[in-house]
Structure 1
Amino acid sequence: MKSSLGLLQKQSLAASPQLIESIRLLQLTHAELHQFVDQELEKNPLLEPAPNDDALSGEVEGPTWAGSPDRPRQGKSLPNAASTASGDRPAFEEFVALAETLHDHVARQIALTAFTPREQLIASELAGHLENTGYLQVSPLELAGSLNVRPEDVERVLGILQHFDPPGIFARTLSECLEIQLRQRNRFDPAMAVLVANLEMLARRDFQTLKQRCDVDEEDLLDMLQEIRALDPKPGNRFQSGAPECIIPDVWVLPSPGGGWQIELDPNTLPKVLINQSYVAEVSCRAEKKSKDMAFLNECLQNANWLIRSLDQRAKTILKVATEIVRQQDAFLEYGVAHLRPLNLRTVADAISMHESTVSRVTSNKYMLTPRGVFELKYFFTVAIASSEGGDAHSAEAVRHRIKAMVAEESLDDMLSDDDIADRLKEWGVDIARRTVTKYREAMNIPSSIQRRREKRLWRNGDQSLKAS
């Protein structure tokens, strides 16, 4: 054992604060980015906002078609709100109207009701504890104590409020909400009361036990279920709860006149700043003799240059990633979700020579408007399911779409078990296990084949009864 001194040369990468901040800019939404830039404009006197110019754009060619060159392209129709000309693209706020809120609607009804001053106070307090869904989140006993009034007075006023529009508001539970609506329709008979009191059985689709408890036959139970389905479990949701919200896509994918796709970044989501050079020159002359002022000026200039470069790099990175996604998912844009290809972050990262983590940051909370609708960029990354024929793998999202379509088309005489669905998928070249089918089916809230058969039998018997009558 001996000790000695020696020199060791080692390389390491240290992330500067500005590099860390540049990485953070990639994952900001456009709203968060605008807020960040506004803060920089306030802090840095050398910066000023610049008017938006034309959006950054790229073009992706579509597949080569066999046969006649004038064969029509499929899936190119745009939604009514979009236009192929970037200058004609809509401002979404122009299509949003400020709607009446639930609390405004209730307050107007309270003002028109013949309440005494004490009842008016109780009603206003109850309305103040009303959720946007229409449910009451305070007990009458608790409210009576806080207002120093009798609990029976609160109950009496609550009974009046429960007759307000929309039917079902001021309920404290789902059962009470449905009961209020049924009473207003004069349909809360003893059998319906038992059904409303056993909603957990309805959720489990335990129709046999419900028939016994309600003391009704299958036809009557079917009529009762139809009435329950016609009720609104969250009556307040029909009202707007606050300021209107909409998703503003960061990327637009439009059909290119020459074929393929035109990818553009929305200039409204890209804040732009400039350095006020005349102000820099003016301040530099005054600060030449003061080292402190010159140091501050240089720091501001350095930060301004960094921000401009970072914003430009962010925009180009988003465009690069979006362009590659469009290239990979051209079949989806042409034909729909059944043709969504399996795709992972590494594939896109390798194609555009970027790190996988960079692609992950870019695709977080960013949205793309396509002829198929608005999708988050992460939607296009799906797990691959092997092909049973040795060909290209299938996207998990496309497989889920096929499962949903198969279930929608089945009949009472041909109900598909999870094994049947797996077998049919294998016939189409999808190598999938039954347990995977079960997992996908449950994730889409599709009942089992036994439950679906029971429901379809109820519905068919109900239709036959209606035709007979």
Structure 2
Amino acid sequence: MALSPRLEFRQAQSLTLTPQLMQSIRLLQLSHLELNDFVDAELLRNPLLEREDGGDADTDAPEAPERAPEGQSYEDTVEHGDRIQSADTIADGYDTSVENVFPDQPGQDQLNPQSRLDRNGASEGGEAPDIDQFVAARPRLSDHLENQTNMILRTPADRLIARYLIDNLNEAGYLAVEPQAIADQLGAELADVEAVLQAVQGCDPLGVFARSVKECLAMQLREKDRLDPIMMRLLDNLEMLADHNMPALMRAVGCDREDINEMLAELRQLDPKPGRAFDVGPVEAVVPDVFVRPGPAGDWQIELNTEVLPKVLVNRVYYATVTKKARDSGEKAFLSDCLQTANWLTKSLDQRAQTILKVAAEIVRQQDGFLLHGIAHLRPMTLKMVAETIEMHESTVSRVTSNKYLSTPRGLFEMKYFFTTAIASSDGGVDHSAEAVRHRIRQLIDAEALSDVLSDDTIAEVLKREQGIDVARRTVAKYREGMNIPSSVIRRRQKKNLEQVG
């Protein structure tokens, strides 16, 4: 067969992403702060755009619906209800009574001197400072800890609890609320909260998540292998040290003045406020994008937080005025482009708001059990499940849930926290969440006897036979390793050693 060139005509359809369509997609994943910055930049570039409260110009901005869909509300004012307090509010009044034990430690005011700057980098009363005056900003404690907890903890439920613990740290890095309060707020078991707390107390800097100076110092001494009974008695009587009552302290600890001085030298090498090494500027409370609260008929009312949504209008009066005075085609083309961009922005902002509300409503519908009864009822939910229900693409749902927060009666949550892995049911019933499967695996292992240590294959069979959970052996092994549970061989050896010691 001879090869020769030839011409062919083919007809095909394809989707082309225009610059405006790409920009609309990008708007979906912006947080409300990033969105407001974007809108501010557009207001500077486009003379036809103005804030909604900027005047009485005739506009063509999309009108709000006359009546909200059933079960939803677009009210401007929202009753906040029982939302979790921000970290700075909880930290008010927190006090440590032994600061004079560490007289050489600088205070918070010395650690974070800051001057107020305007948007151009200039100080309030002078010129912009020289670039050499700036140094790299210190990382925030919350960000530093969240990166670690995401690696330490495997399940979304545990990470959610850890996020609550982080949000309730004060500037010194101490936990300012009791675990029981967090368990009540989330509807979780106290044992689960305490297990997460114990896991995150090993995070860097060592000493964070302590509930007192004593616990903070004990955590650091334990890491150094110096927490012996005598040192523990010293920590139990720190108030005597603060009162400079050395005779009483020596009697309580049971050692002489020389030993006391040596132990105090060790204490002064520790950091009683581990959180202060990080950015301790004013805590910026996360502002929710959507409010969720119980409705009068037992349903949920879902409302956009209109306070954080930018509102822009197209000034058609100004457009008509300047168009008449345009002198050449270049000016007319510029004005036409500004009008087109302004119309696109107002419609895109409205579409973004409606999309967020639609996704939030579906999340609330599927996670109704969690909102009513707590973390144990967190349902398995994937991006695909939400996307199919609301007839959107998975990538759209993914963008919408990025950096968006729901304020619920159980607290403030990032939308992505509600998405978990689903494990199929062997009997065709309701799927099981990965967290629930992990919990059942741990229960089976905790209940096993020395004569009946369960292998991963056996656990998979038990889950399928007794609880209808269709899970593979390798999945059991992955979940077991994620919970830091050793294999059946190692567990059997450990149980034998414990039995011999007993």
Distance 1:13 1:179, change over 3 A: closer
Amino acid paired to 1:32: E
Task: Check if 1:346 corresponds to 2:337.
Answer: no
CA offset digits 1:12-65 (Å, max 9, x no partner): 32211111111111111222111111111111122112259999965559xxxx
Q: Secondary structure at the match of 1:8?
A: coil
**Residue 273 of structure 1 corresponds to which residue in structure 2?**
312
Partner of 1:96: 88
Alignment match, 1:106: 105
Within 2, Cα distance between the matches of 1:238 and 1:405? Answer: 40
Residues 286-324 of structure 1: per-residue CA shift (max 9 Å, x gap): 32x333222221111111111111111111111112222
Please state how far the C-alpha of 1:440 moved relative to its aligned partner.
Answer: 2.1
Q: 1:387 — aligned with what? A: 425
Aligned residue in 2 for 1:80: none
Query: Counterpart in 1 of 2:353?
Result: 315
> What is the deviation of 1:442?
3.3
Contact 1:345-1:356 within 8 A present in 2 as well: yes
| Letter in structure 1 aligned against 2:470 | D
Aligned residue type for 2:40? D
Secondary structure class of the residue paired with 1:89: coil
Report how far residue 417 of structure 1 moved.
Answer: 5.2
Determine the C-alpha separation between the residues in 2 that align with 1:295 and 1:7. Answer: 36
TM-score after normalising by structure 1: 0.57
Q: Is the CA contact 1:343–1:382 (under 8 Å) kept in the aligned structure 2?
A: yes
Could you say if the C-alpha distance between residues 415 and 109 of structure 1 is closer, same or farther in structure 2, counting changes exceeding 3 Å? farther
SS in structure 2 of the partner of residue 45 of structure 1? coil
Question: For residue 168 of structure 2, what is the aligned residue in structure 1?
Answer: none
Q: Is the 8 A contact 1:338 1:399 kept in 2?
A: no
Partners of 1:272 and 1:185 lie apart in 2 by: 64
Instruction: Pick which of 265-274 and 18-27 moved more.
Output: 265-274
For residue 16 of structure 2, what is the amino acid of its counterpart?
Answer: A
Structure-2 change in CA distance of 1:5 and 1:109 (3 Å)? closer
> Aligned to 1:378, what secondary structure does the other structure show?
helix
Cα 1:40–1:381 change in 2 (3 A) is same
RMSD: 5.1
Q: 1:431 aligns with which of 444, 458, 470?
A: 470
Of residues 37, 46, 49 in structure 2, which corresponds to 1:47?
Answer: 49
| Code of the aligned partner of 1:12 | S
Q: 1:371 to 1:3 in 2, by over 3 A?
A: same
The match for 2:322 is 283
How far, CA to CA, are the matches of 2:312 and 2:109 in structure 1? Answer: 51
User: TM-score, normalized by length of structure 2?
Assistant: 0.54
Paired AA for residue 352 in structure 1 = I
CA distance in 1, matches of 2:434, 2:337: 51
Native 8 Å contact 2:84 2:412 kept in 1? no
Inter-partner Cα distance in structure 1 for 2:431 and 2:362: 19
> Quick one: distance in 1 between partners of 2:375 and 2:232?
43
Q: Is the 8 A contact 1:252 1:265 kept in 2?
A: yes
Distance in 1 between residues matched to 2:302 and 2:452, nearest whole Å: 44
Instruction: Decide whether the 8 Å contact of 2:32 with 2:309 is kept in 1.
Output: yes
Deviations 1:95-133 (A, max 9, x none): 735989x9x99334999xxxxxxxxxxxxxxxx9x9988
Question: Whose radius of gyration is greater, 1 or 2?
Answer: 1
User: Is 2:399 the counterpart of 1:365?
Assistant: no
Deviation per CA, 1:246-278, whole angstroms, max 9, x where unpaired? 332222221111122112221133211112333
Change (3 A) 1:433 1:448: same
Return closer, same or farther for 1:435/1:54 CA change in 2, 3 Å cut-off.
Answer: same
Whether the aligned pair in 1 keeps the contact of 2:289 and 2:304 (CA below 8 Å) is yes
Q: Percent identity?
A: 49
Alignment of 1:5-404 (within 5 A): 5-50=7-52, 59=70, 86-89=77-80, 96=88, 106-108=105-107, 179=224, 186=231, 235-237=273-275, 241-243=279-281, 244-287=283-326, 289-403=327-441
Equivalents in 2 of 1:32, 1:355: separation in Å? 23
How far apart, in 2, do the equivalents of 1:326 and 1:28 lie? 21
What is the SS of the residue equivalent to 2:412?
Answer: strand
Q: Match of 1:14, SS?
A: coil
**Post-superposition CA distance 1:191-223 (Å, at most 9, x none):** xxxxxxxxxxxxxxxxxxxxxxxxxxxxxxxxx
| Structure 1 pair 54–87 and aligned structure 2 pair: CA distance change class (3 A) | farther
CA contact (8 A) 1:329 1:341 kept: yes
Partners of 1:28 and 1:332 lie apart in 2 by 27
- Any unmatched runs of 5+ in structure 1? 62-83, 112-127, 134-164, 190-230, 462-469
Q: Could you tell me how far apart the structure 1 residues matched to 2:301 and 2:492 are?
A: 44
> 1:411-447: per-residue Cα shift (whole Å, max 9, x none)?
9999985657656644232233454334224324566
Counterpart CA distance in 2 for 1:30 and 1:236 is 32
239 and 268 in structure 1: CA distance in 2 versus 1, 3 angstrom threshold: farther
Give 1:250's aligned amino acid.
D
2-structure distance, mates of 1:92, 1:332: 16
Q: Distance in 2 between matches of 1:423 and 1:51?
A: 65
Indicate how the Cα distance of structure 1 residues 438 and 19 shifts in structure 2: closer, same or farther if over 3 A, else same. same
Q: CA deviation at 1:399?
A: 2.3
DSSP 3-state at the match of 2:437: helix
Pick which of 354-363 and 84-93 moved more. 84-93
* 1:194 aligned partner: none
Question: Which sits farther off after the overlay, 180-189 or 266-275?
Answer: 180-189
**Contact persistence 2:140–2:280 (CA under 8 A):** no
**TM-superposition CA deviations, 1:157-207 (whole Å, max 9, x none):** xxxxxxxx97999x9xx9889559859974699xxxxxxxxxxxxxxxxxx
